[in-house]
Amino acid sequence: MMILRLSEKKWRARAVNTALKKLFPKAKIALHFSNPWELLVAVQLSAQCTDKKVNEITPMLFKKYRKLGDYVTANRAEFEKDIRPSGFYRNKTKNILAAAKIIQEQFRGKLPKTMEEMVTIPGVGRKSANVILGNAYGVVEGIAVDTHVIRLANALGLTTHRNDPIKIERDLMAILPKEEWFSFTYRLINYGRQHCPARKHRAADCPLKKFYKPDYVYHA
């Protein structure tokens, strides 16, 4: 098992981030939205669903439900039908419609701008809150850790925690400059999608293979 000191992790993180910047100089969120509320809806729909599929669902959804109030008064069964292709549609409907009511009643119809308030909204955990705050308001309080980030942060020796997103986020925040937190997530996600997916692939073709941990098990 490779164990690195904090200074070594910081060096590795900077080197990895520099390489990612060259590969993806304009990395950004893939979800489509036109306002903070639409972003929250899209983020909730993306749970256990691809961004591509969400982007196929949201044009019609956002045309049908144009403002927050439309979600507050939405028919649950009809909304479930509208988002069914995203999977887990009953739970997503429950969270999205509940979130609309809470935002209207407790936050005067506008998404809050702090992590503390965001995570009180149904269906919004720390990862989702990081995505929404950063993309909607430019507020960066942490690093969004999804499955790509979990897998690759381990592969690249940037964390000592295999599956705990909160602890992995803390590890990454400790070794990356704050001004890099927001974009790092999207660079790593793009890298995972385009070069080093979880499915079987040739590791020799991965651009960042020189940074992989010696004990990292991947498909050759």
Instruction: Please confirm, yes or no, whether 215 is among the known catalytic residues.
Output: no
Calculate the dihedral angle through the C-alpha atoms of 197, 203, 205, 209, rounding to the nearest 10 degrees: 100
Distances (CA, A) of 110 to 47, 117, 142, 198, 214: 22, 12, 21, 37, 48
C-alpha to C-alpha distance for 14 and 12, rounded to whole angstroms: 5
User: What's the rounded Cα separation, in Å, for the pair 29 and 27?
Assistant: 7
Dist CA 185 CA 125 (whole Å): 16
CB of 53 closer than 8 Å to CB of 88:
no
Q: Among 82, 92, 127, 171, which one carries the catalytic annotation?
A: 127
Q: Of 146, 167, 209, 213, which one is the catalytic site residue?
A: 146
Cα separation, 9 vs 40, in Å, equals 33
Q: Is 210 considered catalytic here? A: no
Active site residues: 127, 146
